[in-house]
Chain A
Amino acid sequence: MKKIILSAFAALFLVGSAFAETVRMGTEGAYPPYNFINDNGEVDGFEKDVGDMLCIRANLDCVWVINEWDSIIPNLVSGNYDTIIAGMSITAERDEVIDFTQDYFPPSPSVYMGMSGADIDVDSAVIAAQTATIQAGYVAESGATLVEFATAEETISAVQNGEADAVLADGDYLASIIAESNGEFANIGEVSIGGGVGMGIRESDTELKAKMNAAISSMKDDGSLNALIKKWFGFEAATF
């Protein structure tokens, strides 16, 4: 028994020492078209394409990690992965805890979505939003009643079953849901909140931040980033 424990303990400390520059990309996998898990069970979406291209340009070996939204920042700072690339808007509050690269997606409006035909005053109604998003923060200060959910998915169901009057989320996320709801849902208002979307990186990880910033700049310069934005968000989408 002692031997087993000792060798298990030894194994813990001897597991390979050679390492290449592998970067673990943390994403939520539940926010199409930014990031989602496709029918093959793989990470897909705008951010998958951007992230893979950034890694090629920065000469990094990238692997994708799924982490729920709620704990996505704590798990970055404790080192479970090295970047957050999950449609995260750059805000001052988040910037106190982690660092952001420059934005790889320009600011885009958030949309209130409710059932079609309902008469809703978004400043006093019950509004659903995903926890710890800029939209949740906005609703909390708008005077409306905020109900928070762990995933964007659940905010939609909350509107569908009447728990909330409307949902506030990124317009790009809601667009296809509204379009494919056969008229069940409607866009009932837009607000501009938050800056662009950037990649979250540990504050101590300045080297990775510099590499990613350079790669994003090069993608902006040669138009490949705009091409990806158009591919995933349509031709009307704001570009750089």
Chain B
Amino acid sequence: MNVFIILGMGAAVGFLSGMFGVGGGFLITPLLIFYNIPPVVAVATGANQVVASSMSGALSHFRRGTLDVRLGVVLLLGGLAGATAGIWLFSLLRRIGQLDLVISLLYVVLLGAVGTLMLLESLRALRRAAQNRPVSLRRPGQHNWVHRLPLKMRFKKSRIYLSIIPVVGLGFAIGVLTSIMGVGGGFIMVPAMIYLLRIPTSVVVGTSLFQIIFVTAYTTVVQATMNHAVDIVLAFILMVAGVIGAQYGVRIGQKLRGEQLRALLALLVLAVGARLAVDLVATPGDIYSVVSERIYR
């Protein structure tokens, strides 16, 4: 393991995450896998790194008070349950030798879907800009099927009256992703909160970061306890490089045009997904592999 390559990786992903306001976990884990870090370690260490990268963003939201703690706690309950189920599934898959495959498949699907959506969206925005029409945010309608569910609860800060079923469900799904893929999941949670739950944009990012910090922290501790898969040195190098890279990313991001940047990130996301897909399909150098219980020691 070369420290400078890890530093470079952390800084590059930090830079991108600062530029686009994403957590970066969904890029760190595949990069670590490309660098031949065992996927078990890449995922658990990725979750640990996300704790740090979400922390500074979350702190500024805490200071400004742009989060709904009540909503965050309900999300968090789902998230902790999801992470617990996810780690159980993770250990099971590892035991039967299918973990690496499932991690890769999930990443191919996720990166492919996110990359495609981002690319389409940014291309549409670019076309609109070329036609000199104002870029308008799609105005979400007031109600959908989600708002007809029972068990409603009032979230004062968000000024909504919402069933806790979709909130807990969303938290649960993100928790599963955190434990199996080592991501914070903000890139799914934020759009889901805005378009599905109709939560005001002002509190969405802060609330999602609030839940991400606790779920990734919980995942880190459980992964360390059950799978001994957290590499604290690797995580620390990634964190330090990441938080520094993010600062420069933010500055550059403010100077460049959003739609073009998003199109670039979309292409990068698609490229990472494609590389993982190729690795799944290409004939492996050796169709046999051997593991002993203590191989990661």
A-B interaction: no
Residues of chain B at the chain A interface (Cβ within 8 Å): none
